[in-house]
Structure 1
Amino acid sequence: MPNQSHSAVNTRPARSVLSLALLTALSTQPLSALAAAGDVEFDIQAMQARGVDTKVAEWFRQAPRFMPGESTVALTVNGSARGRAKVRFDHDGQLCADKDFQRQAGLLSPPGFREDAACFDLKSAWPQAELNLNPGQERIDLVVPQQAVALYGTESGNWNHGGFASMLNYDAQYMDSDGSTGLNFTQLGSEAGFNLSDWIVRSRQTYTRFDGDTSMQHQAAYAQRSFTALKKVLQAGQISLSNSMFGTGQVLGMQLLPEAALTGNRGGAGLVEGIADSQSVVEVRQSGVLVYSTTVPAGPFRLQGLSLLNTRSDLDVTLTGSDGERRQFRVPASAFLLNGSAVAPGLSFGVGKLDQQGSSESPVLGTIANGWALNPYTTLNAGLLGSTPYRAAAVGADSQLFDSTLLSLQTTAAQDDKHGNNGVSVVTTLNHQATERIGLNVNARQQTSGYRELSDALQEEQIDETSRIRSQYGGGASWSDESLGSFSLSAARSMTFEGDATNYLRGGWSKQFGRAYVGASLEHDTGTRDSEADNRFYLTVNIPFGNGSSVSSYLNSASKGSRGGVRYSDRTSQDRGWSLSSDRDIQNRRTANTGTVDMTTPFSQLNASLSHDSDSNSSWSARASGGIVAHDGGVTLSPYRVGDTFGVAKVGDEVGVRVETPAGPTWTDGKGYAVLPSLNGYRRSAIQVDTRSLAKNVDIGNAWQETEAARGSVSYVNFDVVRTRRVLVDVRDAQDKPLPHGASVFDAAGNFVTVVGNQGSVFIPDASTSDTLEVQTSGATICSFSLSLPVKTDMSGLYETASAVCR
């Protein structure tokens, strides 16, 4: 009889057979006796009354324990969940605490442990250890002395080191518009390199073409390695001396700095916020040097984590809209340290030759800084910078005055020999969380007329005093209320040495009304002698629907005019979405309609937009980003950029399997490989296979694993999968009668397979390994049968059907 496939709905016959098998193992209670050796004596008469072959009892005679070999279990250590772990058990079902188990459990290497031991017992090292094995729930609860548990940031030796793979990240942007005021912008950013034995080698470069002007900026080329025992990072090449207390820009040299992941550094970064009237190109400059450029959509934007030359020079931001309109504003430097000092406690130093684009001079310079934790609440940092034209010294302190108050203070003295200038700069910030709903911050910067940064000292001419900032003061507050919503307000004032003052004011409010969101923001800039005052107001309303779509509208009012619009967005899939919008320039009476689409594919992240206005002007943009990893198994693509610590997962030879990673979902290629784009250095990273993306005839032993990667390592994670062929067989004897209910079925090796169900139905969970099957009752073989299955597995259902004759 030809094989047929059943859908997932028609599972009652299979369930009845599986239920019988489970009943055989579990429902022979009550137990007549519990042997001293832990063996269970089944009630043979009860089994016979239920029509179950008594030989099955021999297979389930042992007391609850894990089967010998590897098993995947839920692991807890001292009450802390460690996730799913693959562990090994000996022939008696006892745990073997090998090196892999110690790493997964987060344990220090036990006293007397030998890797060549067949099966190490934790109680031999820590007699007070308690081990609770629960095979029924596939769970292990371990309690050990606290000194046996490795802490994060210690030299526990549990990190995964080594590995080799090369990588390439890319981010390509294109924006174009027609008409007399149109613009053309193309940018291709790339990062290439490899990881080898915890060494990170990278080269970053950016190609930009903006309205016919082409530039190629080589941003960095360096080698880096973290030394766990020293808690230090070594960098050499074309680098930025990032952990000094000074703004040095890029140098060709080396530096040694604390490993932030092992020291608990808070870190800090530049921040640019604003409102774009339309899709715009944003360029951020510091001391005349372009430090960042990108495109942003219309509305509020936030750029964080920018790589800056220093933390004391203002940022000049230029927005160029799709209609060619340009707008500039300045971000005060006093706001840079609102997130705390960027210097981690510990010694750092660097030396190199200045290699800054846009600078005609390249002196040799050196920096050294150190940090001390004076107490659990206060750190002190001090540093020196020396070069031919410029020298500086700085002292800074971060103190948690109260549980909710953080104070940062830094004083810098500088000497500019080239222009004969000497001066002092003081920067301070204070953050206070008054309640869970109220936060306050203030910041200030004051400098003397002779103070100069290194970038200032390298310029040929004296800096125009009319534009130099003498003082900056600012502050902000945030408040949230369940009934009124969330409020934020910040203000800043800058004064030049010529007496010109510029005031900034930004306020915001947002609230959730049921499922709808309403937000408003206000900006005020008094301008300078070179720029006009500007006022901006932005209001947005978003109403989501249950199917992943939403409707939003906005109103943007500025000194030069107002705009408004409405947008429909659809994201019924987590990997793709699209939107349609209509925007109206109220003052110029011009309407623009825009369509956008974005998707995350197994190979890249893609998005594109097309816009056309009532003046017959059109603009369009496209962007693609992702990563490529070359490893021992071939070349695999990733839709996300590859970080300094990454890995590769193997899911058998399965194609198109979705793997959830800390960076986002990736998919296996034609060989079963998937990139793990970014793993946490010196932290645990969870990787999980989405079992819904597996083929119906594929089983996976453990869909969830963890890795603890050292920075710069390449982790290889293997998910064991088994292709099974589930078959429900209608078996008849030579007289065309069904087999006896409850008879046992064994394979050719004598292993128990299943029991006979109703009307002679036999459910075989893995027919691919079954040749000749024997049917036994009361320990005697009554007949045997074999399956004749097509070469190609039917994938349309959960199982196949077949028929056989038992002779």
Structure 2
Amino acid sequence: MYSLQMVSPDPLRFGQRLKTLPLCVLVAMSASVTVSEDAFAKQVFNPAFLKDDLSNSQISDLSKFEDSSYQMPGIYRVEVVANDQAMFTRDVNFIEKTDTENKSKLFPCFDMKTLESFGINTAAYEKFNEVKDQRCVDFTSIIEGADTTFIFDKQKLIVSLPQAALKNQIRGYIPPDQWEEGINGLFLNYSLSGYNSSKTDSNGLFLGIDTGLNIGSWQLRHSGSWNQTSSLGNSSNEWNSLRTYVQKTLIPIKSNLLIGDGFTSNEIFDSFGFRGAHLSTANEMYPDSQQGYAPTVRGVAKTNARVVIKQNGFIIQQSNVAPGPFVIADLNPTSISGDLQVSIEENDGTVQSYTVPYSSLPILQREGRTKYSVMAGEFRSGRQSQDNPNVFQATISHGLKKGISVYAGAQIADDYTGGVVGVGSNLGNYGAVSFDVSHANSTLVDGSKHSGQSVRFLYSKSLLKTGTTFQLLGYRYSTKGFYTLNDVAYSQMSGYNYSETHDGNQGIVPVITDYYNLSHPKKGRFEVNLSHSFGQYGSIYASGNQQTYWGTNDKNEWLQAGYANNWKGVNYSFSMSRNKMAQVNETNNMFMANVSFPLDRAIRKAKFEDPAIGNLYGNFSTNQNTNGSDTYLAGLSGTLLKDRNLSFSMNQGHASGQGNTSSLNVNYRGTYGNIGGGYSYDANSDRFSYNASGGVLAHQDGVTFGQPIGDTAILVKAPGAAGVRLENYTGVKTDWRGYAIVPYATEYRMNRVALDTNSFSNNLEISNNVDNVVPIKGAITRATFKPSLGLRALVTLKYQGKPVAYASSVTEAETSAYGVVAEDGAAYMTGLPVKGTLKVNWGVEERQNCAANYDISSMDLNQAVLQFELDCH
């Protein structure tokens, strides 16, 4: 911060001086305390009181500071907020300006480009064209009602603008000229997880790798995984190259270009993977656009289990979970779409598999807005049962008046042509709805030709008054001759899609995830996803789908429903799920109950409070399965350490067929990555699991290690500021050089990056600890801070044999370290280099300044505060 750093004189010496003051001075000081309130607002102090009339002491020219609101003009690094919206943090030049009450105040200098970034409609004011100094536009005199307030102690500038002066734009919109391509850099993410069981002689290891190279606005990405498993002498070792692609943001047309491996969206056609080129509208560039919908994956693990989520045969997320209920709600809707295949691979070798439907909300565009997508390449599936035909797909949707949107699409592939037309409408209080009709001509793998139609109805509604939300309610009916592109890609007329798991007794075994039979095409599909809140009485949710087929009475069904509430800090929930796969005659029903309660109150009652222990909960859960597998668990979970970045959970219970069970899991989120481990035990097996993840970023200033880097991230640069925490990012600190990785950021939006001042070392000073960045999609932007690392010293300055004038300003020439002279020429300085030059100023005239060179390398630099004298010339 740019602020005056006054050093209080020694109280004893100050008292002695006070006794020597003449009686008239004491009377005058007493009188100054009793001045009227109005007078105090105008004059805080009389500089004459700082000078003894009977002495020859001098003071700096402080007449300007007689006004309580006065601050020195100059360049300050400030956080700018316009109409309650954070705009940026940067150096701003402030000049003196007289307001309507003839008071002097600091006024910020902004050019026309900056004013337009605030949303000001400059074209509506002719006087903006008459401004002579375009670098410092006095917009408050041009726009009636505009004003600025500089909160000096917080280095915060508040700009108030009348709504009539602003462009007709959506709140929160950030102009493209503020978007940042970021820095050039090469990064690598790793995610390692594994397990080892001595009782079953089995082990497994999974390594996921994500690499990226950013050069300007071009971004290269590659993802791969290595999976090694062994059980009872049977082993497998497999490397999968998941995705490789190059992407670029095309700002002028608000679009994204992707060349390589990707996924299409499922708003109009079913989603599928491809290898080719894809040009599409970038929704995230629009402030008013929905960022998409992704389903929440819920489930219950009986043991320490691995949850694998696949889409189109590719693993999109894999994680280890502790026994009990789990929720995965961080799936990225911009990179995946289509039904999700979820497998819960238990420690005992059993597998729960079910499908979570993923259909987008009704297709609505704002009036006049067009959204498009064009893809050309080959169909790419992770299933061995499907071929890779060439395919071209194009879709478009457009917003008309009165809340109506129209859309259409076409697919052309080997042995397949299809098209769709539809319309959607915002029905106001009645929700939103869309309806479309598809037609397809297909040639299946057996050579048979088919032609058919499909109609789809989607509905969405949020009933805020009743607390009910229909996220999706839809139905699709297809004629017997209708097939999708995904159906035509199958290399056989029927078969199973499966994944591998590892049973302690049988080794590696296949597990069926779904079944297909092209002789029985899909007929009707019903989907629902709704929730309802009862306020203090809790909330319920339900999700499910049912799929019927032509030529058979078989139905595939999936349903989840639950209730949750809390009472005096105690959280409890009940849920059930049903998964029926008719083709393999398999039905799985599950019921679960869970109760968790905070233990903070009990800790306080026992007078065992420890700041390193937080969020401590006790929990109990039970899981009842129709196949006779019942589980009962009681446990403890919480966080440890000052930063709450060490989490743990321990459970003890009983499971059918396994006897008594126990487990312990610990995870740590650190500066250089994340690490965790777990142990579980039952009558039939034991398992030690471990995991580690992190990211490495190579950039022009070196190499920085951190937590896994997301699609868009931020590099913090604060050279020399080691071990400084970042606000709102658990476990993230600067490394020994002063660099850190903020692992995730929101593209095209203002991201606030703040250093935690409570973690600063004693020799660290910084002018501003907040920066704001606006990255484009996939960028690694840089938030730069300028810390001042140096010595603390009490310097006694003399000029012509006498102490420098009281309240003179002192500045170090190279580092801009700043201080103010106190009593007897003493100035307290921080951030001083070992060698340098101090510049002293006590007035506006040319002769009212001096400078002093110093070199303190011979002193004991380990002292908390150094003391030395200098002669100023």
| TM above 0.5 | yes
Hey, what does 1:77 align to over in structure 2?
82
Residue 305 of structure 2: which of 266, 273, 280 is its match?
280
What pairs up with 1:106-121 in 2 under 5 angstroms? 119-121=135-137
Aligned partner of 1:478: which letter? S
Hey, what does 1:95 align to over in structure 2?
108
Work out whether 1:223 is the aligned partner of 2:241: no
Work out whether 1:55 is the aligned partner of 2:72: no
298 and 136 in structure 1: CA distance in 2 versus 1, 3 angstrom threshold: closer
Deviations along 1:98-143, one digit per CA (max 9) or x if unpaired, are 5895598566899989999794324399565844353645443434
CA distance in 2, matches of 1:17, 1:252: 81
Q: Are 1:65 and 1:133, in contact at CA under 8 Å, matched by a contact in 2?
A: no
Hey, what does 1:454 align to over in structure 2?
485
Moved more, 135-144 or 627-636: 135-144
Hey, what does 1:675 align to over in structure 2?
741
537 and 16 in structure 1: CA distance in 2 versus 1, 3 angstrom threshold: farther
Work out whether 1:489 is the aligned partner of 2:542: yes
Work out whether 1:530 is the aligned partner of 2:584: yes
Hey, what does 1:368 align to over in structure 2?
394
Q: CA deviation at 1:703?
A: 0.7
Give the gaps of 5 or more residues in structure 2. Answer: 1-6, 18-28, 98-105, 495-516, 601-612
405 and 664 in structure 1: CA distance in 2 versus 1, 3 angstrom threshold: farther
CA distance in 1, matches of 2:634, 2:697: 41
Hey, what does 1:240 align to over in structure 2?
263
710 and 102 in structure 1: CA distance in 2 versus 1, 3 angstrom threshold: farther
Secondary structure, counterpart of 2:758 in structure 1: helix
Residue 428 of structure 2: which of 373, 377, 402 is its match?
402
128 and 308 in structure 1: CA distance in 2 versus 1, 3 angstrom threshold: closer
CA distance in 2, matches of 1:545, 1:478: 30
CA distance in 1, matches of 2:11, 2:363: 62
Q: Are 2:88 and 2:773, in contact at CA under 8 Å, matched by a contact in 1?
A: no
688 and 14 in structure 1: CA distance in 2 versus 1, 3 angstrom threshold: farther
Residue 705 of structure 1: which of 771, 782, 787 is its match?
771
Q: CA deviation at 1:385?
A: 0.6
CA distance in 2, matches of 1:669, 1:527: 52
Q: Are 1:249 and 1:308, in contact at CA under 8 Å, matched by a contact in 2?
A: no
Residue 166 of structure 1: which of 186, 208, 228 is its match?
186
Hey, what does 1:6 align to over in structure 2?
none
Identity %: 17
69 and 149 in structure 1: CA distance in 2 versus 1, 3 angstrom threshold: farther
Residue 638 of structure 1: which of 700, 706, 709 is its match?
706
51 and 130 in structure 1: CA distance in 2 versus 1, 3 angstrom threshold: farther
Q: Are 1:248 and 1:454, in contact at CA under 8 Å, matched by a contact in 2?
A: no
Moved more, 168-177 or 265-274: 265-274
Work out whether 1:256 is the aligned partner of 2:279: yes
183 and 322 in structure 1: CA distance in 2 versus 1, 3 angstrom threshold: farther
Q: CA deviation at 1:445?
A: 2.6
Q: CA deviation at 1:580?
A: 4.8
Hey, what does 2:195 align to over in structure 1?
175
Q: CA deviation at 1:730?
A: 10
Work out whether 1:324 is the aligned partner of 2:349: yes
Secondary structure, counterpart of 1:56 in structure 2: coil
CA distance in 1, matches of 2:316, 2:181: 34
Work out whether 1:435 is the aligned partner of 2:464: yes
183 and 423 in structure 1: CA distance in 2 versus 1, 3 angstrom threshold: farther
Aligned partner of 2:255: which letter? K
Work out whether 1:598 is the aligned partner of 2:667: yes
CA distance in 1, matches of 2:132, 2:243: 45
Hey, what does 1:612 align to over in structure 2?
681
49 and 279 in structure 1: CA distance in 2 versus 1, 3 angstrom threshold: same
Deviations along 1:225-251, one digit per CA (max 9) or x if unpaired, are 112221111111233334773346333
CA distance in 2, matches of 1:744, 1:286: 69
Q: Are 1:687 and 1:706, in contact at CA under 8 Å, matched by a contact in 2?
A: yes
CA distance in 2, matches of 1:416, 1:164: 47
Q: Tell which has more relative contact order, 1 or 2 (C-alpha 8 A, sep 6+).
A: 1
Q: CA deviation at 1:624?
A: 1.5
Residue 762 of structure 2: which of 685, 693, 696 is its match?
696
Aligned partner of 2:109: which letter? C
CA distance in 2, matches of 1:631, 1:116: 42
Q: Are 1:28 and 1:43, in contact at CA under 8 Å, matched by a contact in 2?
A: no
Residue 633 of structure 2: which of 558, 565, 576 is its match?
565
Q: CA deviation at 1:289?
A: 6.3
355 and 328 in structure 1: CA distance in 2 versus 1, 3 angstrom threshold: closer
Hey, what does 2:450 align to over in structure 1?
421
CA distance in 1, matches of 2:720, 2:632: 52
Secondary structure, counterpart of 1:456 in structure 2: helix
Q: CA deviation at 1:286?
A: 5.8
Secondary structure, counterpart of 1:268 in structure 2: coil
584 and 115 in structure 1: CA distance in 2 versus 1, 3 angstrom threshold: farther
Secondary structure, counterpart of 1:229 in structure 2: helix
CA distance in 1, matches of 2:839, 2:152: 28
CA distance in 1, matches of 2:386, 2:299: 33
Hey, what does 1:337 align to over in structure 2?
359
381 and 214 in structure 1: CA distance in 2 versus 1, 3 angstrom threshold: farther
CA distance in 2, matches of 1:205, 1:122: 56
373 and 57 in structure 1: CA distance in 2 versus 1, 3 angstrom threshold: same
Q: CA deviation at 1:506?
A: 2.7
603 and 589 in structure 1: CA distance in 2 versus 1, 3 angstrom threshold: closer
Residue 142 of structure 1: which of 159, 168, 174 is its match?
159
Moved more, 301-310 or 537-546: 301-310
657 and 287 in structure 1: CA distance in 2 versus 1, 3 angstrom threshold: closer
CA distance in 1, matches of 2:721, 2:113: 26
CA distance in 2, matches of 1:792, 1:284: 61
595 and 461 in structure 1: CA distance in 2 versus 1, 3 angstrom threshold: closer
**CA RMSD, Structure 1 to Structure 2 (Å):** 4.7
Secondary structure, counterpart of 1:671 in structure 2: coil
Work out whether 1:86 is the aligned partner of 2:91: yes
TM-score by length of 2: 0.76
467 and 600 in structure 1: CA distance in 2 versus 1, 3 angstrom threshold: farther
Moved more, 341-350 or 601-610: 341-350
Q: CA deviation at 1:544?
A: 1.7
Moved more, 497-506 or 462-471: 462-471
CA distance in 1, matches of 2:34, 2:64: 13
CA distance in 2, matches of 1:748, 1:425: 77
Q: Are 1:96 and 1:120, in contact at CA under 8 Å, matched by a contact in 2?
A: yes
Residue 570 of structure 2: which of 516, 519, 528 is its match?
516
Q: CA deviation at 1:177?
A: 2.6
Q: Are 1:411 and 1:425, in contact at CA under 8 Å, matched by a contact in 2?
A: yes
Q: Are 1:667 and 1:674, in contact at CA under 8 Å, matched by a contact in 2?
A: yes
Q: Are 2:797 and 2:827, in contact at CA under 8 Å, matched by a contact in 1?
A: no
Hey, what does 2:225 align to over in structure 1?
206
Moved more, 264-273 or 703-712: 264-273
Work out whether 1:188 is the aligned partner of 2:254: no
Moved more, 249-258 or 407-416: 407-416
TM-score by length of 1: 0.81
Q: CA deviation at 1:604?
A: 0.6
86 and 452 in structure 1: CA distance in 2 versus 1, 3 angstrom threshold: same
Deviations along 1:392-421, one digit per CA (max 9) or x if unpaired, are 112344433224723244433222124312
